[in-house]
Amino acid sequence: MPLQSDVITQALVQELLAKGIAAARAGQRRRARRYLSQATTLDPTNEKAWLWLSGVVNDYQLMLACLNKVLALNPHNPRAQAGAKWVRARIAVRAHAGLRWVRGRPRRRTDVFAGKLPPWIAEQPPVRPARTEPTEHRRWTWLALAIAMMVLLILLILLVVRPAGAAAWLPFLATPTPTIAERTAALFAEFEAAWDERDWASALDYLAEIENLDASYPKLREGQWATHLFWGQQLAADGQLDEALAHFEQALESMPGEPIAHWERTITAHYLAGKERYTAGDWAVAVDHLTTVYKMDQDFHDVQPLLADAHYQLARQFQEAGQLPKAQAEYERALEIAPDGQAAQHGLAEVVALLTPPTPTPTPVPSPPAQTGKRIEINLTEQHLYVWEGDQLVYDWVCSTGGYGSPTVPGNYQVLDKIPNAYASTWDLQMPYWLGIYYAGTLENGIHALPILSNGQRLWEGYLGQRVSYGCVILSTEAARTLYHWAEVGTPVIIHY
């Protein structure tokens, strides 16, 4: 019974032979040569492979060499006999014409049959009419055949049974087994053919066979990485992102840290996670994942409308919970991504209206004490605050006044009160170094440092010099601290354009 490795080899030889014959019949002579050469390498005793190889080489001498291989294996092969006779005739004609057939010297290599199969393969060899032989000669012929059959039978028995000592005098009976290097090389050639045809599944199957034979094969990991990566990219382009992600992860298993597969895996994983949380209505987590995707590639599938709507839904959630500043921020982010979003525009207008304080009634300013001459001047056009003592400018700071939906109102006011750290319950804000200057309805507007949110973050940090507040005048923390200690209750405050 043949060994399992022999079975695999013969199966591979038959597959190569079938592919080579199919390529030859299709006129793909170069591919046919590759398949048939591999078949004869794996099985040098394959008569059919040598015969077909003789029909796809581009050189008469190579043809004759292949046909001689066939005749060495089977001297009575009629196709090989006809082919050898045909090729020798052509060689003789060319030699007579003065052409040189020196192997190894440069010569123009042409396709002898211009894409067609030679006559000993394309057609059945001519059948010669039987001729009558003398009876005595026929008798000796049958006797020789009988003896040959007996010898073949004895050799077959020895080959199967293999008695002790047979190997010593019948070394030629041993079928040469291809080495691991030869088998992996043949399999890698099959992998390359499958890769050229974008048959990713077959390509991975060939690599798995190579890994079983030799896990340290030099091109194995690179081949696995490239196949999984390209298959994943094809699946991602077709919208099959779950399957694509699995291939990107397998590509990274083959070559950990490789940047292309890492990028593909990261953006695909975040997109899938973001879409899952979006479907579940977990808007905050969806925004986190989809923002990562949007920063990596704004055109990745439908991330742009998904992220804009996730911001909008999160804004609605904050608005319903009464957290208006957070709702305003989310509406604005939604409009940054999709400026034409009407729902986000309407929601933002609602929140701004709720946050806009009523128009204030200016407080009469008493005449300042003549002996101090202190006053505070706020220029709304310049977004600047000036501190004066008489005619001398003491301080000059950049400030931020009310936004266009809640502007700081011009007028003559005075410092009404001083609070080290005021609290605005309407917006849940801490306002350090508070100087109250006028009332807008029941709420007091004033001058203070950058407000602090409940999470410790400073609101509008980095926006000084722009109109961003809810009506108050905002200074940097250091400037607000200095002004708080300099000003007194009753110090005049003049606000103008």
Amino acid (one-letter) located at 93: V
Mean pLDDT of 181-193: 89
Q: What is the pLDDT of residue 457?
A: 87
Query: 92 pLDDT exceeds 80?
Result: no
Rounded distance, CA 440 to CA 451, Å?
19
Note the pLDDT of residue 151.
76
Percentage of the chain beyond pLDDT 90 is: 46
Report in angstroms the alpha-carbon separations of 400 from 155, 405, 427, 468: 105, 14, 18, 6
Domains and CATH numbers, the chain: 4-102+110-122 (1.25.40.10), 374-496 (2.40.440.10)
Average pLDDT over residues 129-138: 48
Q: Are 406 and 478 in contact (CB under 8 A)?
A: no
Mean pLDDT of the chain: 83
The pLDDT tens digits for 253-268 are: 988 888 888 989 999 9
pLDDT above 90 for 485:
yes
For the segment 375-391, the average pLDDT, to the nearest whole number, is 95
Answer whether residue 482 shows pLDDT above 60: yes
pLDDT band at residue 410, thresholds of 50, 70 and 90?
A: very high
pLDDT at 125: 43
Task: Mean pLDDT check: name the lowest of 6-10, 42-46, 247-251.
Answer: 6-10
Q: Is the pLDDT of residue 2 over 50?
A: no
Q: Comparing 346 with 375, which gets the higher pLDDT?
A: 375
Q: What is this structure's pTM?
A: 0.42
**Cα(111)–Cα(109) distance, integer angstroms:** 7
Sheet strands side by side (includes 429-440) = 417-424, 429-440, 443-449, 473-475
β-bridge pairing 392-398 and 374-379: unpaired
Residue 5's pLDDT band (cuts 50, 70, 90): very low
Most confident of 79-88, 211-220, 322-331, 473-482: 473-482
So what's the pLDDT on residue 452? Answer: 92
Distance (Å, rounded) from C-alpha 341 to C-alpha 103? 78
**What pLDDT does 260 receive?**
83
Cα–Cα distance measured from residue 46 to residue 39, given in angstroms and rounded to the nearest whole number: 8
What are the residues whose beta carbons fall under 8 Å from the beta carbon of 464, sequence distance 6 or more?
398, 399, 400, 450, 474, 475, 476
pLDDT tops 50 at residue 107: no
Is the separation of the CB atoms in 414 and 492 below 8 Å? yes
* CB within 8 Å of 432: residues ≥ 6 apart: 420, 421, 448, 449, 450, 452, 477, 480, 481
- Angstrom distance (rounded) from CA 296 to CA 151: 76
Query: What value does the mean pLDDT take over residues 368-383?
Result: 82
The pLDDT of residue 15: 84
pLDDT of residue 169: 47
156: pLDDT confidence band, cut at 50, 70 and 90? confident
Q: Name residue 208's beta-bridge partners.
A: none
Of the candidates 425, 423, 421, 433, the one whose C-alpha atom is nearest the C-alpha of residue 474 is: 433
